Amino acid sequence: MIHLADILSPARSRVNVQGGSKKRVLELIAQLFAEDQPSLDSNQLFNSLIAREKLGSTGFGNGIAIPHCRLSGCDQPLGAILHLESPVDFDAIDGAPVDLLFVLLVPDAATDEHLVLLRQIASLFDNEPLRERLRQASDNQALYEAVIAGNA
């Protein structure tokens, strides 16, 4: 079983992210991964995230979205957590705007591993006290630590 500590890093944990729109948030996510993982192409990642959203929104409800995609050039699962400064419309299933996002990238060939990670992340974010701790995190490190502690 993969633990979130294995796929998440403080460098990919961000608070007070200024999104503005769903598209802009996905662009920021692609840039964040490309900065941290230079082997990843930000345009390819952005296009993959957009293509996944066209299949159906990754807005989970309760202000949470879990954007995810398979990506060629990605050789292991990678995650990021973002707390937006202001919620954005993400076409979530409950209609609520999104302010917390957990992003999951998996290798092109991933199958069961991808689904197991998605279930693990969805289960984690179904925890209201954890969501509040994430929303109260004052800096990137605190956000990272709250996710890791919530997954312990």
- DSSP letters, 40-58, are S-HHHHHHHHHHHHHHS--
Give CATH for domain 4-150: 3.40.930.10
Longest dimension (CA), the chain: 37
The predicted structure's pLDDT at residue 150: 81
Q: How many CB atoms lie within 10 A of CB 149?
A: 10
Supply the residues annotated as catalytic: 68
Least Cα distance to 67 among 117, 127, 26, 95 occurs for 26
The predicted structure's pLDDT at residue 152: 65
CA 43/CA 143 separation, integer angstroms? 27
Instruction: Walk along the chain (152 residues) and give the pLDDT tens digit of each residue.
Output: 677 889 999 999 999 999 899 999 999 999 999 999 999 999 999 999 999 999 999 998 999 999 999 898 888 899 999 999 999 999 999 999 999 999 999 998 867 877 888 898 999 999 999 999 999 999 999 999 999 988 76
Q: Are 117 and 104 in contact (CB under 8 A)?
A: yes
The domains of the chain are located at 4-150
Identify the three-state secondary structure at position 17: strand
Identify the three-state secondary structure at position 105: strand
The predicted structure's pLDDT at residue 3: 79
